[in-house]
Structure 1
C-alpha cells in the first residue's frame, strides 16, 4: 500500500480538494427522495397490478448472435453484449462487423439462457450481441427509470418460471412471457384503452408510477 496511488479531485494548486469531496458526499441522497407524487411509493402494493405480454410492451427480437471468435478489436467501435450478469452484460469492445447492424443505445438486452438466464440490462451505447441474447426495444419513448423498473421485474419473473438449461427463454420471450405491472387508475376505477394497445383487456401501464418509484429509491437521483 505504501506504493499505491489513487486519483482525487484537486485544486488549482494541486492539493486534494477536500471541500469538493465533502460537498459531493453530502449531495448523495442516501434516503428516499420524497416528491408530491411519491409519498407512499416506498411501499409497493401489487393488488391492482395487471399482467402484460412482453411483446405487447416492446419490440422483441433476437440479437446478432455473433460468436466472440468472429470479432476483432483493432479499431473497436461497438460494445459486445453476452449472457453475463456483470457490467451491463458488456464483455468486450469490438470492431464493426460487416453485414451486421448494431442495436441502438437505450435498447435492452436479455439473456435467454445459460447460468445468468433473465439478466436484463439497458444498454447505454450501440452494441452487438453474442448468441442467445434477446433484444427489447421500446415502442414509445420510456425513461431509463421506467426501463429499470421493468428489467428488475423481468429478472424476478425468470427466477420463478424459467430454468437455465431446461425451460429457457428462447421460445417464450416473443410469445407468452408475461409480467405484472402497475396500471393507470382513476380513483378506484381502471383506465381502459379501447384500442387495446398494451393488453387484450385494455389495461394501460402506469409508466409514470414506475419512473417515480425508481427515482425515490436511495441514490435514484444518480442514475
Structure 2
C-alpha cells in the first residue's frame, strides 16, 4: 500500500505544474441562455456547478482540468472531466501531463489555499502566479505523477471495496431488511 510519508516532497509553483492557467469570463445571470452545459462558478457545492446554460458566444469553455475559486468560496478546487463554461470567479488549471487520478490528488493540495485566502483576500492572477504547492517527487526531483495516480487508484479501490462489503451485509432480498420495530419478521423495503 502506498503511503504519503514514504515519499520525498518538494515545492513547485502552480504555473510550473499547470502551464495553462486562465480565469473564466464574466457572464451576468441576465445573459444566461438555458441549456445543458455546466456553468462553473465559485460555489462550494456540486463541484462548483452553479447552473446549466447554452451560451456559446463570449464564454470560455474548458474540459479535463481543475477549477480554483478566486472569490466567493475562495480556494475551493474541483476536477472536471467534462466540458463546462467557467465564470470569472474561477480559474482553470490545466496540464497535459495529468490524468483524472493525478488531477484528483493535486486538487486536494491546491484546495489548501482556502486556508490562506478569504472573501476579503481573494486569489487574483498575480497571487496565483506566486503560489507554490508541495508535491511528491521522483528520484530526479520532478513531480511523481505516477505515484499520485497509483495512490488515488488505491484509495478509490478501498472505497469501492468498503461499499461492496457494506451492501453485501446490509441489502438482502431485493433491498429489504427485517426491522426490529416492525417485529414478527415482516420485510420492510428501504427506502419507500
TM-score (norm 1): 0.65
Counterpart CA distance in 2 for 1:123 and 1:68 is: 22
Among candidates 102, 118, 123, match of residue 169 of structure 1: 123
Instruction: Give the structure, 1 or 2, with the largest relative contact order (CA under 8 Å, sep 6 or more).
Output: 1
In structure 2, relative to structure 1, the CA distance for the partners of 1:101 and 1:157 (3 Å cut) is: closer
2:82 maps to 125
Identify the match of residue 109 of structure 2 among 150, 153, 160: 153
| Cα separation, partners in 2 of 1:212 and 1:47, compared to 1, 3 Å | closer
Report the 3-state secondary structure (helix = DSSP H, G, I; strand = E; otherwise coil) of the residue aligned with 2:67. strand
Provide the rounded CA distance (Å) in 2 between the counterparts of 1:51 and 1:153: 11
Partner of 1:110: 68
1-side partners of 2:92 and 2:9: how far apart?
25
CA 1:107 to 1:173, structure 2 compared with 1: closer, same or farther past 3 Å?
farther
Aligned to 2:159: 219
Q: Give 1:178 shift.
A: 0.7
Which of these residues, 172, 176, 183, is aligned with residue 137 of structure 2?
A: 183
Match of 1:64 in 2: 25
Q: Unmatched 5+ residue regions in structure 1? A: 1-38, 186-190, 192-202
Shift of 1:164: 2.4
The structure carrying a bigger helix percent of its residues is: 2
Verify the 8 A CA contact 1:67 1:130 in the aligned structure 2: no
Query: Are 2:36 and 2:54, in contact at CA under 8 Å, matched by a contact in 1?
Result: yes
Distance in 1 separating the partners of 2:48 and 2:12: 25
Unaligned runs of 5+ in 2: 164-192
